[in-house]
């Protein structure tokens, strides 16, 4: 009986020591989520070298390489045997020439020449046509703030009267938009164009861009779970932005969306250092979001069968909380019941985190929802500087990044990890295990000493 008691205590001591040892090693191997690393990635992605990360251009490829290297550094495996998922897009390629907007008479003599970025500017929305000329001989319609013209050769252009302040705003590019060319003009310029049209002059406009087709990539990596037959957790963010305008202004896109992709990279570093999750966690750095969610559409469409039942958390604009609640963005189809959204709402309520819900298809979650896959975008909702040259690193809030992490990690833990595994990584658990180990060791010494005295 005495030996049984000693052996049982010894067994419990060894078992507790093993659990404590594994937990301690796991705890010390964790790469804590480091906001400084997020800021560092944002700094690089918004640097002059990357020139606004326009999809199809060299800066975008540099961003792609940076993300791929980070995935490999954190031991993410290729998804379906490859890190890069390619797809084709039309992108606005810069060509030789200077932008102009002129009024000419029937002899083609210039009556008036307007100044770029003062009187007119490209919206950047489309360049299926880049050289437009029209007069009263063409089909033209006016309202109080816009005119639409269709030339004899079929090109369609719209001129939009807008204030100078809005010349800083650069639209997303949409090759399939209604018009072939979109032009912003000042109210004064708009009135002069109307007068020129009535006087049967020609209105001529050119921008040195062409819409050219090219192949681009999403970057995809995966942390394999203990049971890959379970529906995966998918974490996404887009890394493209809007490039450089014709005056050389870089649209850096710090909030939109260097912040989201940098947040995703740090999540990859953190989660890859944790014990094996129950299910696969797929990380997707999405391209061509600014071209109409093309990267997420390509990924979701290609993988919709294997992603059925998955949860997708998308990060878009993580880094602004100046009086702004965190936004949980789901799709416009309110009939889709999102268990992920309900869980996020519950967490925010329980932890007194101010939030609001938006039903919009304006970020990459929409591509997954359109394929019947539960998806929500976590977003800080500050649109005051996005798509302008003022969206820079200096306005990124570290407290907003931390808030997003707390909200996101609650769902990642809930969906992808065994609660017992996570419990053993807690500092409190390690302290309790250490105390139990110490008490068992003392008990072993007492039993051994008692047995030794009885033998004497």
pLDDT in tens, 328-356: 999 988 777 789 999 999 999 999 999 99
* Other CB atoms within 10 A of residue 146 CB: 15
177: which 2 tokens? 């938009």
Q: Which of 279, 446, 275, 256 lies closest to 364, judged by CA?
A: 256
Q: Token pair of 204, please?
A: 């001529």
How far, in whole angstroms, is CA 353 from its chain's centroid?
22
Q: How far apart, in whole angstroms, are the C-alpha atoms of residue 454 and residue 456?
A: 5
Helix, strand or coil, per DSSP, at residue 60: helix
What pLDDT, on a 0 to 100 scale, did the predictor assign at position 419?
A: 76
Residue 430: per-residue pLDDT: 56
Distance CA 132, CA 120 (A): 14
> What is the model's pLDDT at position 21?
47
Residue-by-residue DSSP string for 257-319? IIHHHHHHHHHHHHHHTSSPPSS-EEEEEE--GGGTSHHHHHHHHHHTTTTTT-EEEEE-S--
**Rg, the chain, Cα only:** 29
Report residue 181: phi and psi, to 5°: -155, 140
3-state helix, strand, coil in the chain (%, to 5): 40, 25, 35
Helix, coil or strand: residue 70 = helix
pLDDT at 222: 98
Q: Which segments in the chain show pLDDT lower than 70?
A: 1-3, 5-30, 420-441, 443-456
pTM: 0.89
| Residue 341, pLDDT score | 95
- pLDDT tens digits along 161-173: 998 777 999 999 9
Name the token pair of 306.
């294997």
Q: Is 381 left (phi over 0), alpha (psi -120 to 50) or beta?
A: left
């Amino acid at each position: 009986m005495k030996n049984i008691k000693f052996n049982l205590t010894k067994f419990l001591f060894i078992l507790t020591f093993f659990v404590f040892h594994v937990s301690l090693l796991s705890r010390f191997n964790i790469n804590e989520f480091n906001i400084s690393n997020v800021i560092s990635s944002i700094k690089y992605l918004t640097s002059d070298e990357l020139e606004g990360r326009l999809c199809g251009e060299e800066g975008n490829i540099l961003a792609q390489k940076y993300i791929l290297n980070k995935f490999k550094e954190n031991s993410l495996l290729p998804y379906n045997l490859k890190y890069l998922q390619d797809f084709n897009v039309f992108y606005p390629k810069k060509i030789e020439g200077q932008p102009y907007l002129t009024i000419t008479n029937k002899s083609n003599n210039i009556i008036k020449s307007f100044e770029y970025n003062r009187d007119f500017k490209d919206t950047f929305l489309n360049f299926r046509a880049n050289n437009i000329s029209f007069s009263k001989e063409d089909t033209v319609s006016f309202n109080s703030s816009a005119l639409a013209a269709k030339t004899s050769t079929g090109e369609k252009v719209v001129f939009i009267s807008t204030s100078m302040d809005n010349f800083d705003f650069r639209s997303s590019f949409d090759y399939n938009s209604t018009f072939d060319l979109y032009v912003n003009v000042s109210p004064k310029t708009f009135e002069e164009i109307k007068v020129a049209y009535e006087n049967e002059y020609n209105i001529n406009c050119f921008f040195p861009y062409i819409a050219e087709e090219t192949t681009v990539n999403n970057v995809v990596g995966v942390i394999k779970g203990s049971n890959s037959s379970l529906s995966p957790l998918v974490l996404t963010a887009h890394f493209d932005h809007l490039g450089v305008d014709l005056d050389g202004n870089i649209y850096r896109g710090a909030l939109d969306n260097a912040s989201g992709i940098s947040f995703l990279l740090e999540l990859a570093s953190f989660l890859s250092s944790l014990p094996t999750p129950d299910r696969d966690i797929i990380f997707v750095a999405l391209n061509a979001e600014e071209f109409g969610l093309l990267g997420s559409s390509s990924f979701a469409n290609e993988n919709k069968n294997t992603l059925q039942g998955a949860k997708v958390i998308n990060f878009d604009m993580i880094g602004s909380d100046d009086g702004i609640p965190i936004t949980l963005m789901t799709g416009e189809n309110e009939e889709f019941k999102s268990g992920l959204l309900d869980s996020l709402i519950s967490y925010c309520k329980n932890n007194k985190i101010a939030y609001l819900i938006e039903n919009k298809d304006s970020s990459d979650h929409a591509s997954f929802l359109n394929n019947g896959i539960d998806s929500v975008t976590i977003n800080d909702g500050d649109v005051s500087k996005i798509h302008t040259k003022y969206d820079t690193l200096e306005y990124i809030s570290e407290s907003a990044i931390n808030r997003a992490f707390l909200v996101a990690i609650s769902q990642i833990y809930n969906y992808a990890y065994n609660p017992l595994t996570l419990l053993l990584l807690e500092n409190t658990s390690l302290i309790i295990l250490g105390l139990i180990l110490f008490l068992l060791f003392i008990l072993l010494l007492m039993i051994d000493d008692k047995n030794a005295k009885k033998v004497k």
